Amino acid sequence: MSTFSPTRRSFLKDAIRRFSQNRLALLGLFLVGFILFLAIFADLLAPFAYDRVYFDRVLLMPMEHPEHFLGTDEVGRDYLSRLIYGARTSMTVSLSVQLVALIIGLPIGALAGYFGGVFDFVISRIIDIMTAFPALLFTILIISVLGGGMLTIIVALSITSWIVIARITRAQILTLREQEYCTAARGIGASEWRILFRHLLPNAMSPILIAVSFGIPTAIFAEAGLSFLGLGVNDPIASWGKMVGTSNAYVRVYWHLALLPTLAIALTMLGFSFLGDGLRDALDPKQKIRA
C-alpha cells in the first residue's frame, strides 16, 4: 500500500481509455446523448405542443394523417410530440432525483462514516429501517400522502434514493479511513476536515459515481412505473409510463399506443445501464458482477 493518495490523473486517463474501447458503453453513451437531446430541445423538435388536443383526430394510426407521423392518442394529441416530451419528463425526474440524492446522501454518509458516534448510529438505524421494505412501496406511500404530480414524485424518489448514496459513501469512508495514507496525513498534522475532503472523498468517488449511474435508470423505472400505475405525473404532462398505462385499454387495435412508449422506456434504460456498466468497468476494473 502506498502512503500517498493514489494519483488521479493517470487513473482517469486509463478509465477513459477503457471506456472508449467498450463498444456497448459507447452505444449507451450515444443513446443517453440522444434522449438528453430530445429532452432539452423538445420545444423545437416536437411538431405540436404536448397538450394540443384535436377533437376530430382521435386515435389515428401512424401515417394515417400526414401531420401525425406516429398517429394520435385517445384524446387526439400528436403521439410523436408526446413521446418527445416524455423524454423531458423522464430526464427531469431521474436527474433531479439523483442530484438531490447526491446532495443529501454524500455528506451524510461521509460524516457518519468518518466521525462515527451517535450520528452514525442514528443514520445507520434509518438506513436499516428504510431497507426493511421495498423502496418502491415507500415511494407509493409518500405519493399517496402528498398526492401525485411531478414535484411529489421527485421528492418521494429522493427520499428513498439518498439512502443508497449515503450507505455506499459511509462504507467507502469506513474502509478508506483505516488506510495508510490517511494515517500518514494525520501524522503530518492535517486537519480532520482536510483528510475527509482532500484525501478520502476523492478516493471514494468511483463507487459513488457508479451508484449514481445505476440510480438514474432506477429512477427512470420508478417514474415510468408510478405513472403506469396512475400514481405518477398528472395530465396533461406527457410521461412514457402513463402512455403505456392508458394504452392498455386500446391495445387490441391501436398497438402503436403501447409499442412506442415501451420502446422509448426500454431504449433509455438500456442506454443508461450500458453507460453504467461501461463506467463501472472503466472505474473499477476488479469488480465484475453487479451485486
Partner 1 sequence: MLGYIFGRILALMMILLAVSVIVFALMHSVPGGPFDERKGRLPPAAKANILKKYGLDQPVWKQYINYMSHAVRFDFGIPYQRPHTTVAKLISKSWAITVQVGLTTIVVAFGFGILAGIYAAYHQNSWVDTLVTFVSSLGVTVPNFVVAMWLILIFAVSLNWLPMGGWGSSGQCLIDKYFCTDWILPVIAYAIAPMAIVARYTRASIVEVMGEDYVRTARAKGLSEVKVMRKHVFRNAQIPMVTALGTEIPNLITGSIFIESTFRINGLGKYFVTSTLNRDYPMIMATFLLVAFLWGILYLLTDIAYTMIDPRVRLGAKSLS
The answer to whether 44 contacts partner 1 (rule: CB under 8 A) is: no
134 vs 187 by CB, closer to partner 1: 134
The answer to whether 91 contacts partner 1 (rule: CB under 8 A) is: no
Cα–Cα distance between 179 and 191 in angstroms, integer? Answer: 16
Stretch that binds partner 1, among 29-37, 100-108, 111-119, 126-134 (CB under 8 A): 126-134
CA proximity to 32, closest of 216, 183, 202, 170: 216
Cα–Cα distance between 47 and 83 in angstroms, integer? Answer: 11
Minimum Å distance from CB 277 to partner 1?
A: 8
40 vs 129 by CB, closer to partner 1: 129
The answer to whether 122 contacts partner 1 (rule: CB under 8 A) is: no
Stretch that binds partner 1, among 4-12, 97-105, 110-118, 242-250 (CB under 8 A): 242-250
The answer to whether 109 contacts partner 1 (rule: CB under 8 A) is: no
Cα–Cα distance between 81 and 70 in angstroms, integer? Answer: 9
Stretch that binds partner 1, among 43-51, 78-86, 201-209, 256-264 (CB under 8 A): 256-264
Stretch that binds partner 1, among 72-80, 93-101, 104-112, 128-136 (CB under 8 A): 128-136
CA proximity to 108, closest of 97, 93, 124, 88: 124
- Cα 185 to Cα 1, 10, 111: the distances in Å are 14, 22, 18
Count of Cβ atoms closer than 10 Å to residue 242 Cβ: 26
Cα–Cα distance between 113 and 200 in angstroms, integer? Answer: 11
Minimum Å distance from CB 290 to partner 1?
A: 8
Whether 231 contacts 143, CB under 8 Å: yes
Q: Write the DSSP symbol of residue 239.
A: -
The answer to whether 132 contacts partner 1 (rule: CB under 8 A) is: yes
Among 12, 63, 122, 229, binds partner 1 (CB under 8 A): 229
The answer to whether 48 contacts partner 1 (rule: CB under 8 A) is: no
The answer to whether 273 contacts partner 1 (rule: CB under 8 A) is: yes
Cis peptide bond prior to 236, omega within 30° of 0: yes
Stretch that binds partner 1, among 34-42, 92-100, 139-147, 183-191 (CB under 8 A): 139-147
Cα–Cα distance between 24 and 273 in angstroms, integer? Answer: 10
The answer to whether 151 contacts partner 1 (rule: CB under 8 A) is: no
Minimum Å distance from CB 183 to partner 1?
A: 20
- Cα 33 to Cα 38, 80, 269: the distances in Å are 9, 19, 13
Q: Which residues bind partner 1 (CB under 8 A)?
A: 128-129, 132-134, 136-137, 140-146, 171, 217, 221, 224-225, 228-231, 244-245, 247-248, 251-252, 255, 258-259, 262, 265-266, 269-270, 273, 288-289
